[in-house]
Chain A
Amino acid sequence: MRVDQYLPGFAPFDAIGSHTLTARRVLREAGYESEIWAEHILPPLQTEARPYHEDTHRAGEGRVLLFHTSTSSPMSAWVKARAESGELVLGDYHNITPGQYFERWEPAIAAVMHAARKELAMLAPYMAMSFADSAYNEAELVELGYKNTMVCPILIDLEDFHRAPDPATLERLQRRRERTGASWLFVGRVAPNKCQHDVIAAFAAYRRVFDPNARLTLVGGGTSPHYLRALQLLVAELDLEGSVELLSGVSDAQLLAHWAVADVFVCMSEHEGFCVPVVQAMELGVPVVAYNAAAVPETLAGSGLLVDDKDPLVVATAVDQAVRHGPTRDRMVEAGKQRAADFDLSKTSKILLAGIEANLDA
């Protein structure tokens, strides 16, 4: 029996790319044949997937198609045609950023996101069943008319978070850490829905009121050059040059070095379908302060401090509580580690396999 995965963009250092690779491993270990097919395959993953238009399998060959949805792609129409030809198609919804967030900064990306939502709605009748990373994502599917859905958290191998950090980066950061105050960290694409500007604003308030030597590191590749430019201007306007760094192209090992010196993970994102960095923070014992929106409260499940108001001083005060108030910090770290264990691959892989097997039985 085959279970093949399809996704528009297969990229390294990407939550969906990692999830797909882990899902393939889980499927193969469970005895299924499994391949990855993609529209765009980015280096160094060329050997891990094949272009989807080279797929020559036909209906009746006894296989399941698992289609990952997160953006617009001609693959949606192709998947629909496969379903119409009688193949069993399952979905895996990782959420689509609402296009409105990009309209102001990157109108072309906004158009892609609007198209992606239309494609998601179009596919509803063709999916035998659809996984969703969170109940938040599942609710969107149900609203679009998806009949058969189930929550299966994104597959994460928590062991990956405990690999050795890049030694050179770690040494540099530890040396710097001796001279500076609290280290704030946020990890996520530079995108308007992630609201890095709110993290910078809260950090400015924190430096002013609580800790003038604090540092903020924002790690993430860019999807919006104009928003990135606005963030750089904001840092200059608030006199934070030298204490805020915006990093992209960071390897997994380098990122682990940043986690190793982080005192707090601050997430002001307004739209997340799951938020893998929150799980990474919890697993690595870094307390989380986050804005109470989208799937973030569900992923945290009470294991961090949630704020309902983004006022910079309110967020700064919550961060101060998480960083300097020992008992609160200890409880957050402990609760975070327990919560991260809920996403252990041994548990989440069973959910994925059970969902697929239920459809095979049907």
Chain B
Amino acid sequence: MPSRMADTLAAGAALTPPDVGPDDLVYLEKVRLAARRLAYKAPAPDDMADALGSLRDVAQFDVEPPTSANRREVELLKTGVKRLLSWYMRYLAVQLNNFSAATARVAEVLVGRTEKLERGAGELEARVGALEERVRRLEAVRAASPKDVPARTRSASR
């Protein structure tokens, strides 16, 4: 089917956003960050921070079920059921929310500790790498002059 309008706008090309003041820039940055937080990200199997974010997203249990419906009588029925059960749902929800908050806290602690261990492991890896390199260098020196080594060893023992 034919395209009748060529106004497909690429960002920054056909449209130039207006200049905005410093206060607006701060607010816009807040908006960008907030929207980015909810944006779809390709799942990374080893991204713990992402997994923790997902846990936080679903850790709150809402006790306010939507009651709107296409038919008035159904909406009234839903509202009635909601009011009748609200004390019971709240009682359960408080416990579930406490449990999920504690679970999220455990996950945060574990992520923190794991990241600390990973940082430590990274440092150790670097140090082991440096030591291996030093050993390799020394072995290369020794291999280059095999006759000198016993002589030096003899003179050192005297």
Contact = CB atoms under 8 A, between A and B. Distances in A.
Contacts of A12: 70
A209 B75 contact: no
A318 B31 contact: no
B91 interface: no
Contact of B24 (A208, A238, A247): A208
B30 interface: yes
A184 to B, nearest CB: 15
Nearest to B16: A317
Interface size class of B (residues with CB under 8 A): 35 or more
B144 interface: no
Interface stretch (B32-40, B108-116, B132-140, B145-153): B32-40
Given A205-B28, A312-B28, A318 B9 contact: yes
Interface string A50-89: 0000000000000000000000000000000000000000
Dominant secondary structure of chain A at its interface with chain B: helix
Contact of B15 (A100, A104, A204, A317): A317
A309 B66 contact: no
A89 B71 CA distance: 36
Interface string B59-84: 01010001011110001000000000
Contacts of A227: 38
Given A305-B7, A306-B9, A309-B10, A209 B43 contact: no
Interface in B13-34: 15-18, 20, 24, 27-28, 30-32, 34
Contact of A234 (B38, B62, B66): B38
B26 to A, nearest CB: 10
B55 to A, nearest CB: 10
Q: Which of B1, B6, B24 has the most CB of A within 10 A?
A: B1
Nearest to A230: B38
Dominant secondary structure of chain B at its interface with chain A: loop
B11 A105 contact: no
Contact of B31 (A205, A304, A307): A205
Given A100-B42, A270-B40, A314-B15, A209 B20 contact: yes
Given A238-B30, A302-B4, A314-B12, A249 B75 contact: yes
B71 to A, nearest CB: 8
Contact of A249 (B4, B32, B39, B70): B70
A313 interface: yes
A301 interface: yes
Interface in A210-227: 222, 225-227
B44 to A, nearest CB: 12
A176 interface: no
Interface stretch (A1-9, A114-122, A193-201): A193-201
Contacts of B27: 204, 208
B43 A103 contact: yes
A13 B68 CA distance: 14
11 contacts: A43-B71, A198-B39, A205-B31, A229-B62, A230-B38, A249-B66, A249-B75, A270-B40, A297-B8, A321-B15, A335-B4
List the 7 closest A-B pairs by CB distance, nearest first: A309-B11, A249-B68, A302-B3, A201-B35, A197-B38, A302-B5, A335-B5
